[in-house]
Structure 1
Amino acid sequence: MTQTLTYYTTAELAREANVTRRTVMHYADLGLLTPDQVTASGRALYGPYSLRLLRDLLDLRGLGMTLEEARVMVTLRRATHTPAGDYRRDWTREDVPLSDEELHALHARLRIMNEAYARQAENLARFDRWLTKRFTGGVPNEAIDTGLL
């Protein structure tokens, strides 16, 4: 069975990602997002993987990654995934148009970000336990979440 892909106009892609059309156009101008198709009238159409990349870009930027670091991430993703977003098991180093220096710098930055994320996840969990104890009398979150209280 053939899978039919959904394509989004710039405005539809922006709406799906909850950003402005101008944000999508800005990322496209920077080469971070490229249309999967262009209609005869010149309208850009983006596939589902573009939506995923856009959401990833927004998350990466929110985590403090620079536009250049985000560009490297997107380039790496495009080289190792199909246009539909599936991981390509057959990719080779030659498929990745990035220098070893760019990849090493990205790897170092990701390790720093992961370490910071792990520290913050631990801090958030501790704070959640403290709030639970102070405001619910020590009742576990599961009881609150499932409506048992």
Structure 2
Amino acid sequence: RLSAGDLKDLNLLKHYRIIRKWACKNNGLTDSDLELLIYLDCINMFTINDFKIGTYSYSWDNRRWNKLIQNDWVVVWRHRNRTTQKYNIYKVSFKGKQLIQRIYRIMLGEDDIPTSERRNSIMKGKSYIDKVLQTSIYNVNKDKNR
């Protein structure tokens, strides 16, 4: 069983903010959307009610569910049939699982955040915050003790 000290020794959350900013900016998600996807991925199979329970701790966005469905972050795993299955069961899509796995690999130091303009829109440096994030991304990639 893991203890708090074990997690601290992993430095798991050391660069979480930068990694989260990169993931959100390059995938058209908000911070709340990404964290909700991580929560739903941990549940595995979920209903619309589980989604509503998960959104209580985030800012209210009545379009969030439709946006996640339309952009293929969440997919229907089992459709309802109005007789035996009273409601749909959903799961995080392959696309969502890939993003979450990539975030975990970057947090553990197995992967680096991409630094090419083609694979990372932050590297275009269009705004001041992008330029600040560029420096942070280079520092994260240099830090091999993640």
Structure number with higher relative contact order (C-alpha < 8 Å, ≥ 6 residues apart): 2
| Structure with the largest fraction of strand | 2
**Richer in helix (by share):** 1
Give the TM-score taking structure 1 as reference length. Answer: 0.28
TM-score normalized with structure 2 length: 0.29
